[in-house]
C-alpha cells in the first residue's frame, strides 16, 4: 500500500464523530468498540484490533473472559454494594487476605479502592497519619519527595507528586506545595558515559539525601517512586541496588518508602509484586490495573507492619473512606482474575514471552535510526523514539510522534493497539510507546507484535521523511 492509502486509513481512525462525550483529546482515535475477545478488540464494523497495549497495561488476562463475568455477576446478584462503615463481605476479606499472603508476611493489611489515583491519595494520607499515630508522634512530617518524569494519577494529591509537565501545567496553582522531586533512575538518558551502576546509584542517593536536607529530614513523610516507571518514561527499571540505596536514605531520615505499583505490579513486570526484583520491601504499596484486569474499576493499598502497628497500638482508625471502598463486585472480579493468573501460571508466561518479545524487537527494530532505546521487563516494553540515534535528540513535543504512531497502528493495515507516551526527556519533550499485552499471549502473538510494530515504525518514519 502507498503512503496515500495509509493517510486515508489514518484519517478514518481520527475522524471526529458527533458525540455527547466530554473528553476530547488533542489526538486520539474515535473508533467505537463493540466487544473484546481474548487479545483482540472488535470494532462495530467487525474489524479486529490486536490489543498489544492491554489498554493502559490493564487487560492482563485479555478481554471477555466468561469466568470473570460469571464471578462478578454472581456477586452482583448476592450483594452488589456494601456500606463498609457497617459491614464487610467475604469477597473483600478474601481479596485482602490473598494480597497480604502474597507478600509472604511483609505487608499487614490491604485497603481496596476504585482507581490508582485513589490508591495514591490513600497512601499519602496513610503515611501522614502514621506519623501522627506513632509514638512519639511526629506532626512536623507533612512533605513528600517523588521523582521527575513520574506519573502517579490525576487527582490533586497524586498529580502533585507526578512529574508530567503537560498534565500539571494548567493546574499548577492548585497543586500541593509540600511535594518536591528528584531525578528518576533512567540509565538511557541520565547515566553518564563510563559511569558504573554503583557510581550512578551513589550519585542518585546523594541527590535524595541533599533533598531531605534541603527540606528538613524530619519534615518528610515518604519518598514515592514507581519501581518500573510506566506512562511517563516507558517501562524504565532502575539499575541494580538503586532502591536499596534509596531506602537507606529514607531510613536515615526516618521517612517511609512508598512504591506505586499501579502499572508495574500484579505480575506485569514478571513477579507478582515489582519490589520482589529490587531487594527491598516498601512500607506502603499501591496496586491497580492488573489487579482486576479491567473487568471492574479496582485498585488497592498495602501497608506493612511498621505502619499498621502504629495504628493498632494506638487503637486509631485510618481517617479516610469513601462510598465505594471495598466494593464487592470489584473484589469478586479481582479475586477471579488473580485465581486465573495463579491457576494458569500466567506470571511464568509473562517472563517467558517477555524475553521472546524483547529479542524479537531488538532484532527487528534495534538498528532503526529513530529507535533510541528498547527497554522493559516481563510483558512491559517501552520503545523510545529519537530524531537522532547517535545524540539521542528527541522530536519536538508538538510533533506528537508517539501519538501519531499509535493512531497509525489502528489503521486497517496494521490493526494493532500500542500505548503512546510522551515527556520522556524532561516531562514534555520526547516520545515512546508501551507494549503491554495480556499475560496469556503465545509465541506466535509475540512474532505478530514484533513484525507489525516493526512495519508500523518503518512506515511511519519513511512517510515522515518523505512528507
Residue closer to ligand PMP, measured from CB, 223 or 311: 223
Cis peptide before 201 (omega within 30 of 0): no
**Min CB(231)–ligand PMP separation in Å:** 5
| Cβ-closest position to ligand PMP | 116
Do the beta carbons of residue 92 and residue 129 sit within 8 Å?
no
**Min CB(467)–ligand PMP separation in Å:** 32
Residue closer to ligand PMP, measured from CB, 75 or 117: 117
Residues 144-183 that bind ligand PMP (CB under 6 A): 151-154
Residue closer to ligand PMP, measured from CB, 211 or 226: 226
Query: For the window 277-296, what string marks contact with ligand PMP as x by the rule CB under 6 A?
Result: -----------x--------
The string over 201-231, giving b where at least 16 C-beta atoms fall within 10 Å of a residue's C-beta and e elsewhere, is beebbeebbebbeebebeebbbbbbbbbbbb
Among 99, 124, 263, 418, binds ligand PMP (CB under 6 A): 263
- Rounded CA-CA distance 227/168 in Å is 22
- Rounded CA-CA distance 434/154 in Å is 20
Which DSSP letter does residue 178 get? S
Among 231, 235, 238, 418, binds ligand PMP (CB under 6 A): 231
- Rounded CA-CA distance 99/285 in Å is 11
Cell triple for 297: 474499576
Residue closer to ligand PMP, measured from CB, 151 or 414: 151
Among 65, 148, 211, 226, binds ligand PMP (CB under 6 A): 226
Q: Measured between alpha carbons, how far apart are the two ends of the chain, in Å?
A: 16
- Pairing state between β 431-435 and 419-422: antiparallel
**Min CB(337)–ligand PMP separation in Å:** 15
The percent helix, strand, coil of the chain (3-state, each to 5) is 45, 20, 40
- Rounded CA-CA distance 299/322 in Å is 13
State the CB neighbour count (10 A cutoff) for residue 363. Answer: 11
Among 115, 296, 338, 424, binds ligand PMP (CB under 6 A): 115
274 part of the interface to ligand PMP, by CB under 6 A: no
Residue closer to ligand PMP, measured from CB, 56 or 236: 56
Residue closer to ligand PMP, measured from CB, 272 or 457: 272
Residue closer to ligand PMP, measured from CB, 96 or 262: 262
Only one of the segments 2-10, 93-101, 182-190, 260-268 lies at the binding site for ligand PMP (rule: CB under 6 A); that segment is: 260-268
List interacting residues with ligand PMP (CB under 6 A): 56, 115-117, 120, 151-154, 226, 230-231, 260, 262-263, 288, 299
Amino acid at each position: 500500500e502507498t503512503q496515500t492509502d495509509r493517510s486515508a486509513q489514518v484519517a478514518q481512525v481520527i475522524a471526529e464523530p458527533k458525540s455527547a462525550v466530554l473528553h476530547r483529546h488533542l489526538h486520539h482515535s474515535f473508533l467505537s468498540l463493540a466487544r473484546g475477545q481474548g487479545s483482540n478488540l472488535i470494532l462495530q464494523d467487525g474489524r479486529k484490533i490486536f490489543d498489544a497495549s492491554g489498554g493502559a497495561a490493564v487487560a492482563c488476562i485479555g478481554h471477555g473472559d466468561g469466568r470473570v463475568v460469571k464471578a462478578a455477576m454472581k456477586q452482583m446478584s448476592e450483594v452488589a454494594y456494601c456500606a463498609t462503615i457497617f459491614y464487610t463481605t467475604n469477597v473483600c476479606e478474601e481479596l485482602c487476605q490473598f494480597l497480604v499472603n502474597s507478600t509472604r508476611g511483609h505487608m499487614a493489611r490491604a485497603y481496596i479502592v476504585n482507581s490508582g489515583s485513589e490508591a495514591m491519595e490513600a497512601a499519602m494520607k496513610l503515611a501522614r497519619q502514621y506519623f501522627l499515630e506513632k509514638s512519639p508522634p511526629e506532626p512536623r512530617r507533612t512533605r513528600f519527595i517523588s521523582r521527575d518524569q513520574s506519573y502517579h494519577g490525576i487527582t490533586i494529591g497524586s498529580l502533585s507528586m507526578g512529574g508530567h509537565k503537560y498534565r500539571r501545567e494548567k493546574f499548577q496553582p492548585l497543586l500541593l506545595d509540600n511535594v518536591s522531586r528528584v531525578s528518576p533512575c533512567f540509565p538511557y538518558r541520565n547515566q553518564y558515559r563510563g559511569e558504573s551502576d554503583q557510581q550512578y546509584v551513589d550519585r542518585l542517593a546523594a541527590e535524595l539525601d541533599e533533598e531531605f536536607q534541603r527540606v528538613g529530614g524530619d519534615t518528610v513523610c515518604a519518598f514515592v517512586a514507581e519501581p518500573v516507571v510506566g506512562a511517563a518514561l516507558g517501562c524504565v527499571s532502575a539499575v541494580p541496588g538503586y532502591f536499596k540505596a534509596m531506602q537507606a536514605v529514607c531510613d536515615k531520615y526516618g521517612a517511609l518508602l512508598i512504591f506505586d505499583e499501579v502499572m508495574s505490579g500484579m505480575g506485569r513486570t514478571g513477579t507478582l509484586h515489582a519490589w520482589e526484583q529490587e531487594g527491598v520491601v516498601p512500607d506502603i504499596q499501591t496496586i491497580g490495573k492488573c489487579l482486576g484486569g479491567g473487568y471492574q474499576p479496582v485498585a488497592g493499598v498495602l501497608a506493612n507492619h511498621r505502619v499498621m502497628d502504629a495504628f493498632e497500638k494506638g487503637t486509631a482508625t485510618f481517617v479516610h473512606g469513601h462510598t465505594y471502598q471495598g466494593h464487592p463486585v470489584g473484589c469478586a472480579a479481582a479475586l477471579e482474575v488473580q485465581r486465573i493468573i495463579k491457576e494458569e501460571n500466567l506470571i511464568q508466561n509473562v517472563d517467558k514471552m517477555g524475553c521472546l518479545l524483547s529479542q524479537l524487537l531488538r532484532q527487528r527494530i534495534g538498528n532503526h535510526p529513530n529507535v533510541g532505546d528498547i527497554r522493559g521487563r516481563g510483558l512491559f516494553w517501552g520503545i523510545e523514539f529519537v530524531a537522532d540515534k547517535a545524540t539521542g535528540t528527541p522530536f519536538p513535543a508538538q510533533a506528537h510522534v508517539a501519538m501519531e504512531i499509535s493512531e497509525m497502528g489502528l489503521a486497517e493495515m496494521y490493526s494493532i493497539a500500542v500505548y503512546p507516551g510522551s515527556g520522556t526527556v524532561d516531562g514534555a519533550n520526547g516520545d515512546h510507546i508501551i507494549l503491554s499485552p495480556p499475560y496469556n499471549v503465545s509465541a506466535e502473538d509475540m512474532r505478530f507484535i514484533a513484525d507489525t510494530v516493526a512495519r508500523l515504525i518503518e512506515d511511519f518514519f519513511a512517510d515522515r521523511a518523505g512528507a
